[in-house]
Amino acid sequence: MGTAAYVQENEFDGLLSDETIVVVDCTASWCGPCRKIAPLIDQLAEEYDGRAKVVKLDLDQNRAIATKYSVRSIPAVMIFKNGELVENLVGVAPYETFTNALEKHL
């Protein structure tokens, strides 16, 4: 079973420049709804392995990124294409919501 790895702020910009498509799950340990979508994000990481890079970002440890992208409520799933933010999905959603958003940019 593939899982989405956690990334830190210092890796973030490099990741956006290295990968064409990056899916970032903004999460926090205290966030109940975030736990609900965590398995979906892992499933996304597995299903799109090789086509998109799927990562998790703990906002408690990476406040600057939350500020930069105006993440005010979580879970928030951001999709970047060629370093640009192209989708921002906020809240708990079914798996199809994430795959449909991702498919548009592949």
State the catalytic residues.
31, 34
Residue for token pair 């440890």: 61
Q: What are the φ/ψ torsions at residue 74 (nearest 5 degrees)?
A: -125, 155
Helix count (H) and strand count (E) of the chain? Answer: 4, 5
Tokens of 88: 């921002």
Short-list 80, 103, 82, 84, CA closest to 24: 80
What single-letter amino acid sits at 61? Answer: Q
Q: What are the φ/ψ torsions at residue 80 (nearest 5 degrees)?
A: -110, 140
